[in-house]
Amino acid sequence: MILNLCILALVTLQRLGELWLSNHNTRRLLAQGAREHSPGHYPLIVGLHVTWLALLWWLAPLRPIDGFWVAMFVLIELARIWVLYSLGSRWTTRIIILPDVPLVRRGPYRLINHPNYAVVTAEIAVLPLVFGLWQVALVFTLLNAAILAIRIREENRALGR
């Protein structure tokens, strides 16, 4: 149970830290003349993540832990760090676009268009599997896919793709 709580606490602290970083970067980018695009779907993203994490806090504390899925989750988190590092001060949880600034083409962005969404998709699927909660993984992966379909369409539109 202690390891379960530590994993959940670390993921929760990570998410809170990312929200702080995102808000910091968003304020700075807006001050530089950036604009937010398509904010209407953002509450869906927040709601999905809050519900997913709350459900894990409710269901996972007494569940056995699968070491394979823990290792996969650690690899996913390394990919998350790579994404954050590659975007630097331009990383946010919203669609914030600086006009006339070229897209980031380093790190995972030289390989695929939306590596952050690939990481998020993997996190939402794999963390429940750490605790054997495949039903949570399935439901939230499908919900996330529906929201990301909207998000990626809107982000591509904002980026002129």
Average confidence (pLDDT) per 10 residues, the chain, 161 residues = 96 97 97 96 96 98 97 98 96 94 93 95 98 98 97 93 68
Helix (H, G, I), strand (E, B) or coil at 36: strand
Contacts 24+ apart (CB under 8 A), 106-110: 107/82, 107/83, 108/79, 108/82, 108/83
- Can you give the pLDDT at residue 1? 87
- For position 135, what pLDDT does the model report? 98
Q: What is the pTM of this model?
A: 0.93
3-state secondary structure of 63: coil
What is the distance between the alpha carbons of residues 142 and 147, in angstroms, rounded to a whole number? Answer: 9
pLDDT score of 118: 97
pLDDT given at position 160:
84
**Rounded to whole angstroms, how far apart are CA atoms 111 and 113?**
7
- Residue 66: the pLDDT is 98
How far is 8 from 28, CA to CA, in rounded Å? 30
On whether the CB atoms of residues 85 and 93 are closer than 8 A, the answer is no
Pick from 92, 94, 86: nearest CA to 110: 86
Measured between alpha carbons, how far is 133 from 119 in angstroms, rounded to an integer? Answer: 19
Runs of H (alpha helix) within 60-159: 67-87, 115-130, 134-158
